[in-house]
Amino acid sequence: MTETTGGRPRTAVVVGAGIVGLSTAWFLQEHGVRVTVLDRNGVAAGASWGNAGWLSPGLAIPLNEPAVLRTGLGSLVRRDAPLHVPPTVSPGLWSFLLRFAAHCTWPAWHRVVAGNLALNNECLDGFDALIRGGVAAETVEAPITAVFESAAQTAPLLAELRRITAAGVLVDHTTLTGSEVAAHVPQLSARAGAGVQLAGQRYVDPGGFVAALADSVRERGGTIRTGFDVRSILPQRNAVTLVADNDAGASGDVAVLATGAWLSPLAKKLGVRVPVRAGRGYSFTVPTASPIRHPVYLPGIRVACTPYRDGMRVAGTMEFRGPDDPPDERRVRAIVRSAAPFFDDVDWSARTGTWVGPRPVTTDGLPLIGATTAPGVFVAGGHGMWGFTQGPVTGRLLAERIVTGKRSEALRPFDPLR
């Protein structure tokens, strides 16, 4: 709780207009800081737009469990596997994957669960604070129903829930028979033979929420500049200047890098040794004969289905490729093949809004939130699959750290210089 800085910052530049960057900017404004947000493309142009939109602390289970090693090996020969690693990858990606594999142990898994406790326990409060403060959006409270073909197949998820409950995460869950699953989600086919329902969860329209958050930042006096691709960071005695590829500049008393899967190229020059790579997820929307009432999770194929406007958003896969690589249509077809048998009355041929987004994954499963070696420069990113759930609470904690100069115990596990 030490690490104090000099004076309170009056201005800040935040790089990244996703949920993490905009939340940080909004909470800095709560402390009276004037903010400028920069993004090379636009608001919610990265992983914040097309994700499943789940606010699900009960399912924020670390990716680095030992079983992932077996899944990863299988993905090298199966293009339709939920986790896919292309067999031909760069040396940098192989290095990342080897370091990630070294953290796929139960002790490392428990470190991630313990580290994430504060983020998960306070994540819904973060969304509530934004809405109370004027963000014109809403969250929908609804259970998440995990669906299986048989009761026996529920065992791995129930074991995961027992482990995270033992670690201190409150997860209110109930097992369901096949008839109970059908009553809760009548859109499911006869293949759904058992389920596990998690209470106390929520969902949002992620793109709509981030757009409303950006509007709120502007209404409170903030500036959002797009087309600003940061090339270099120049810390000075009393300010930080960021220079774009086109030589445009922006300066503030402090700067925050919240660029998601693009974080490492700049952050590694600032003493951040933990790399971030893109674990890309895909989504699309399909029309349904009748709307589902709450989110549905298919753990066996790692697919999330969410009520979305007049249809159902379907999201899934973890693909380790470059964040700017084009989408792979085969990954979308694989999601359709695996998810379609679980539903009746869904027109899969009429899917729209196909999207791929680069979720930022770290080698040790913990995000990077805090100060770098450069005076006045901070980073926030690397939340993996849970960046949307944990984005607002990350912004609130980091804003307090920046303004007060004190690092809370909640941020200690996420030290970018670890």
Q: What is the DSSP string of 203-242?
A: E--HHHHHHHHHHHHHHTT-EEEES--EEEEEE-SS-EEE
Task: For residue 1, tell me if it sits in a domain.
Answer: no
Buried b (16+ CB within 10 A) or exposed e, 365-398: bbbbbbbbebebbbbbbbbbbbbbbbbbbbbbbb
pLDDT at 3: 40
pTM of structure: 0.93
Task: For residue 59, tell me if it sits in a domain.
Answer: yes
Query: What dihedral angle (degrees, nearest 10) is formed by the CA atoms of 334, 280, 137, 115?
Result: 120
Task: For residue 355, tell me if it sits in a domain.
Answer: yes
Task: For residue 3, tell me if it sits in a domain.
Answer: no
Task: For residue 107, tell me if it sits in a domain.
Answer: yes
> Angle, to 10 degrees, between the axis of helix 91-102 and the axis of helix 67-75?
150
| pLDDT tens-digit readout, 114-173 | 999 999 999 999 999 999 999 999 999 999 999 999 999 999 999 999 988 888 888 899
Given a cut of 60, is residue 282 above it in pLDDT?
yes
Q: Which domain holds residue 150?
A: 11-414
Task: For residue 2, tell me if it sits in a domain.
Answer: no
Given a cut of 90, is residue 196 above it in pLDDT?
yes
Residue percentage of the chain with pLDDT more than 90: 81
The conformation of residue 200, written as its DSSP 8-state character, comes to S
Average pLDDT over residues 190-207: 96
| pLDDT tens-digit readout, 32-65 | 999 999 999 999 999 999 999 999 998 988 988 8
Are 121 and 355 spatial neighbours (Cβ–Cβ below 8 Å)? no
3-state helix, strand, coil in the chain (%, to 5): 35, 25, 35
Average pLDDT, rounded, for the chain: 92
Which CATH number do you get for residue 378? Answer: 3.50.50.60
Q: How many residues belong to the chain?
A: 418
- Give the model's confidence band at 82: pLDDT under 50 very low, under 70 low, under 90 confident, else very high: low
CB-neighbour burial class of residue 110 (10 A; exposed 0-12, middle 13-18, buried 19+): middle
Tally of domains in the chain: 1
Given a cut of 80, is residue 215 above it in pLDDT?
yes
pLDDT at 237: 81
Are 307 and 196 spatial neighbours (Cβ–Cβ below 8 Å)? no
CA–CA gap between residue 211 and residue 215 (Å, rounded): 6
